[in-house]
Structure 1
Amino acid sequence: MTLTIQQYHPDLKRVWNDFIDHSINGTFLLHRDFMDYHHDRFKDHSLLVFNEDALICCIPAHTVQDSIYSHRGLSYGGLILNKISAQNIDLVLELFVEYVKGHAFAKAELQPPPLSYNTINSEIAKYLKNYGFKINRVLHNQYVNLKEEVNVSPKKSIGYRNGKFDGLSIHKGSDFKSFWDFVLVPQLDSRHASKPVHNVEEIELLHSRFPEQIIQHNAWRDGELLAGITFFIKDKVVKSQYASSSLKGMKTDAVGFIYMEAMKEFKEKGFSIMDYGPVNERDGAINEGLLRFKKQLGCVEEEWKRWVIEL
C-alpha cells in the first residue's frame, strides 16, 4: 500500500461526503453539510488518507493552538474507515501520528463513536491503546439493543395501566420551535442554567439538510405540549439528542412515554440500537437520577472513551 494524508479542503467536499456515505462507521453527523454549519466556531483541520488515488479514511478534526482534536463540534470523530482501511488500522494510525508530529502538534485527541454503534469501533480502540494513546475521559453511555428483549421496569410502564398516559398523543415531524420555545430552553435555563448546544434556528437548518435523519417527537395532551425528544437517525442507530418535559409533563412521565413508544416504533422498523446518551455531569460525575431513569427504560451501560497521545 502507498498511503498519503492531506488536510481537508472545501474542494474535496463531494469526495468526503461520498466516502462517509459508504464508510463502515460514519454517520450523517460527519457530512460536511452538518459539520460546517458552525465552521466559524472551529478551526477545521480534518484529514483524508488515500491509498494511491483512493480515499480510505476520513478523520474529522480541528485545532486549538498546538493541539489537534476529534472535532468537538460533533459527538465523535476518530478514524472513519472503509473495508480497506479497516484491515490496515495500524498503518492509518501510524500515518496519522507521523502527520501530527510533522506539523509540530503537541497533542492529538481522538473520540471514536460509541462501541455499540459498530464492532469496528472496538477494533479501533485496541489499536489506539496498543499505539500508546491514553484514556483522558470516560462517559457512561446508556443504550438499548433493539434486537433483543428490552426489560422496561414496571415503574415506567405503569402509566399504561393506571391511566397516567391516557390522552397523550405523539406528534412526529419537524415542530422543533414549539419544543425549543416552550419546553427545552425554559427547562434547561431553570434547572441547569444552561442552553441547548443548537439553537432552534440551527436545528431547523440541519433538519432542512437532513430531513430523514433529524426528527422531532412531541407529546401533547388537550392541546398542551408536555414533552419532546429530538431524535438523530444514524443508519441503524437512533440517538435521543434532546429530551425534556414541562413541569406538568414530569408528573405524567411524558418523556418516558415517548421513549417507550419510540422503542416499539424503531424496533419494528429494524433499528439495532437506541442510544440514550451518557449520564455524566460536566465534571464527569454521574447524575444518579438520570441514570436511574434510563435504567428503568431498559438501558445497559457502555464506557465511551476519549483517547489522547502527547508528543
Structure 2
Amino acid sequence: MEVKHFKKTDTKTWELFVSQNNKGTLFHTRRFLNYHPEGRFKDHSLMFFEKGKMVALFPAVEITNHNRKMLVSHPGASFGSFVTSENISFRNTMELVKTLKSYASEHDFNGVRTTLPPAIYRYQPSNYFDFSLLKNGFTYYRREISSILLLEKSIDKTLARFRPSHRQAVRKAQRYGIQIRESDDFANFYRMLKKNLKIRHGVEPTHTLEELCLLNELFPDQVVLHSAILDNKMIAGVVNFIVNPKIILAFYISHDEHFQESRPLNLLFSSIFEWAIQKGVHAFDFGIFTVKEEPNFGLARFKENFGASGIFRDTLELHLTQ
C-alpha cells in the first residue's frame, strides 16, 4: 500500500473521494479544513493507494510539543480519522492502520492521535477501525460522551419521546409568542454565545465571529443558524452543522438568560427536529456534555429530557519510540 502526503494540487481528488464515500463528513472536506488562517496548523494529511487506486484519506496535522512530534487528527474539526468506502473489509482496515503506523514511524513521528466519529455517524454499524487501532497498539487517550437523539419519522412521534416537563416547556414558549426562524444574524447570536460561555465556563467560543460567518458563507446549506425571536429580539439560537445526510450536529447552543422563563430552547429544538425530519435526517447530535471526561450533569439531564442518550466520541493515541 502506498501513502502520499496531501498537497494543494490534490484538493479536487480529495473532495471527490469524500463526497463519494459514506464515511466522509463535513469535517473531512478540504473546504472545511482550509478555512483556518494559513499557518495556524501544519497540515500533514495522508492519502492511501492500493494498486494506483485511492482507498482512504486521513486528515491530520503535525504538532510538536515538549520535543514530541505527533501526527494528530485535525484540531480544527470535531473528529476525523479515516475516510474509506462503507464496505471496507476487516482485512483492509487492519492493513490501513498498519500502514499508518509504519508511515508515522518512518517519518520520525513520536506518536499518532486520532478522534473517531461517533458510531452513529456510520451508515453501517462497524467497529473495524476501533479494533484495528487497539490491535496495533493504540490506547484510549480520551473518551467523551455525546448526546444523540434518534429522530422518528414525524415530529409528533419525536415529541412523544420528550419528558413531560420538556413538552410542557414547548407549549409554554408557544404561549409566549416566540417565533422560530432561520437567521443570518450571526453577530447577535455570537454576542449572546460569548457572554454565556464567559459566565458559565470562563472560555471563549471555538470560532471567532469572522470564522463562523466564513463557515456559513462556505457552507450556506450545511452551517445553519436557527433563532428564537420574541418581540423582534433574538433570545436563543443554535448553530447546526449538517455533517452528513444522516446526522445534524448542534455545534453552538445559547440563550439570553433574561428570557429563560419563557423556555425558548425547548421550542427551538422542537422546530429544529421538525426541520431535520423534513430533510430525511436520522439522528440529531447535541454534542458532548463531558470536557476532558468531566461530566456536566445539568447539561446531560437537559439533553436527556429530549429523549437523547449518550455514545462515545473516542480519541485514541499510539506512542512510538524513535
TM-score (norm. length: structure 1): 0.93
Equivalent residue number for residue 166 of structure 2: 156
Please state how far the C-alpha of 1:173 moved relative to its aligned partner: 3.5
Matched, 1:131 2:131: no
Report 1:53-202 matches (<5 A): 53-65=52-64, 66-83=69-86, 85-86=88-89, 88-118=92-122, 119=124, 122-147=127-152, 150=158, 151-162=161-172, 165-181=175-191, 183-202=192-211
1 CA distance for matches of 2:25 and 2:79?
A: 10
Find the residue that maps to 1:37 and give its secondary structure: coil
Equivalent residue number for residue 203 of structure 1: 212
Q: Conserved in 1, the CA contact under 8 Å of 2:290 and 2:296?
A: yes
Partner AA of 1:51 in structure 2? E
Partner AA of 2:258 in structure 1? K
Change (3 A) 1:292 1:176: same
Find the residue that maps to 2:281 and give its secondary structure: coil
Structure 2: state its 5+ residue gaps: none
2 CA distance for matches of 1:199 and 1:103?
A: 34
Give the paired residue count. Answer: 307
What RMSD over aligned residues (CA atoms) do the two structures have, in Å? 1.7
1 CA distance for matches of 2:218 and 2:287?
A: 23
Find the residue that maps to 1:92 and give its secondary structure: helix
Please state how far the C-alpha of 1:68 moved relative to its aligned partner: 0.8
Q: Describe the superposition over 1:27-77 as per-residue Cα deviations: whole angstroms up to 9, x where unpaired.
A: 122211110111421111110001222211110101112111111111111
Equivalent residue number for residue 257 of structure 1: 267
**Of 236, 248, 254, which aligns to 1:244?**
254
Find the residue that maps to 1:194 and give its secondary structure: coil
**Of 261, 267, 292, which aligns to 2:277?**
267
Partner AA of 1:47 in structure 2? L
Equivalent residue number for residue 25 of structure 1: 23
Partner AA of 1:114 in structure 2? P
Q: Conserved in 1, the CA contact under 8 Å of 2:179 and 2:229?
A: yes
Partner AA of 1:76 in structure 2? F
Matched, 1:305 2:305: no
Please state how far the C-alpha of 1:164 moved relative to its aligned partner: 6.0
TM-score (norm. length: structure 2): 0.90
2 CA distance for matches of 1:163 and 1:16?
A: 45
Provide the identity percentage: 25
Structure 1: state its 5+ residue gaps: none
1 CA distance for matches of 2:318 and 2:183?
A: 42
1 CA distance for matches of 2:202 and 2:276?
A: 33
Change (3 A) 1:165 1:179: farther
More moved, 133-142 vs 258-267: 258-267
Partner AA of 2:107 in structure 1? H
Partner AA of 1:247 in structure 2? E
Runs of 4+ deviating beyond 6 Å: none
